[in-house]
Amino acid sequence: MCKFISSKFINELDSYYAREDLRGALAYLTQCREDCVRDGDLPSLLTVLNEFTGLYRQTKQEAEGMQCIADCEELLEKVKPGAKTEGTILLNCATTMKSYGKADEAMRLYEKAENLLTAVLHENDPLLAGLYNNMALALQDTGNKEKAEEYFLRALGITGKSREQALEYAITCVNLAHLRFEKDYLDESVNTLLDSAMDILSSDEFYNFDKYAFTCRKCAPSYGYFGRFADEKYLNERADKKYAGN
């Protein structure tokens, strides 16, 4: 059995993120990578590198992130982990690449991930919602706003059906609000989306969900961008409280 494809590995890593301890997460992943290389455990190494892509996205380490993406693509050819795993890794790599302002290049990986995942997942699978949301952001960056809106709406169509996906629904509402603002929609449309997200983020029902604090922190700047400074302050305070509790 692969050493790092386990709940213990993910739980340990998540404990660092729950405290916003990115330095600790980096040290942990670095040690895991060294162990995988030492043991010649390529499947586990692929798992660790996949997690590195997300960390390098958060820390904005472009050179390291791009090298990690290249390493993941090379390992995928060797390990051949299956369509769902490969699609998920490519999705993470594409999202990291897009975060470095390389949306056009990222679309190659997004489209490959879409082909893999839609072939094996149910049409309402939450993973597809994440794919569609992130593809929409890349499409928006490339100037294809009509297709971007189509993909945002696909994501909402999935996450809106499940209480468990409420936080993802909120994120997509905020993302779509930005797109519609760029497309000169009426303020009512933008604020309706922001209100829908705030209804979720201000509800105690979702306070103990995984990534609640992360979602509040992620969405807060958007409320400031739209002049809703009280909402921005509130979300940051909710995130601070949650992180402090962890």
3-state secondary structure 124-138: CCHHHHHHHHHHHHH
Taking the CA of residue 75 as centre, how many other CA atoms within 13 Å lie in the half-sphere pointing to its CB? Answer: 25
CA distance 88 to 29: 19
Structure token digits, residue 62: 């472009």
Task: Check if the beta carbon of residue 126 is closer than 8 Å to that of residue 165.
Answer: yes
pLDDT (0 to 100) of residue 3: 56
Task: Check if the beta carbon of residue 171 is closer than 8 Å to that of residue 200.
Answer: no
Largest CA distance in the chain: 58
**pLDDT tens digits in sequence order for the chain, 246 residues long:** 355 567 788 889 989 988 889 999 999 999 999 999 999 999 999 999 999 999 999 999 999 999 999 999 999 999 999 999 999 999 999 999 999 999 999 999 999 999 999 999 999 999 999 999 999 999 999 999 999 999 999 999 999 999 999 999 999 999 999 999 988 776 789 999 999 999 999 999 999 998 999 999 999 999 999 999 999 999 999 999 999 886
- Count of beta carbons in the 10 Å neighbourhood of residue 241: 12
Task: Check if the beta carbon of residue 106 is closer than 8 Å to that of residue 66.
Answer: no
> Cβ neighbours of residue 19 under 8 Å, at least 6 residues apart?
243, 246
pLDDT (0 to 100) of residue 1: 39
Domains along the sequence of the chain with CATH: 1-120 (1.25.40.10), 125-246 (1.25.40.10)
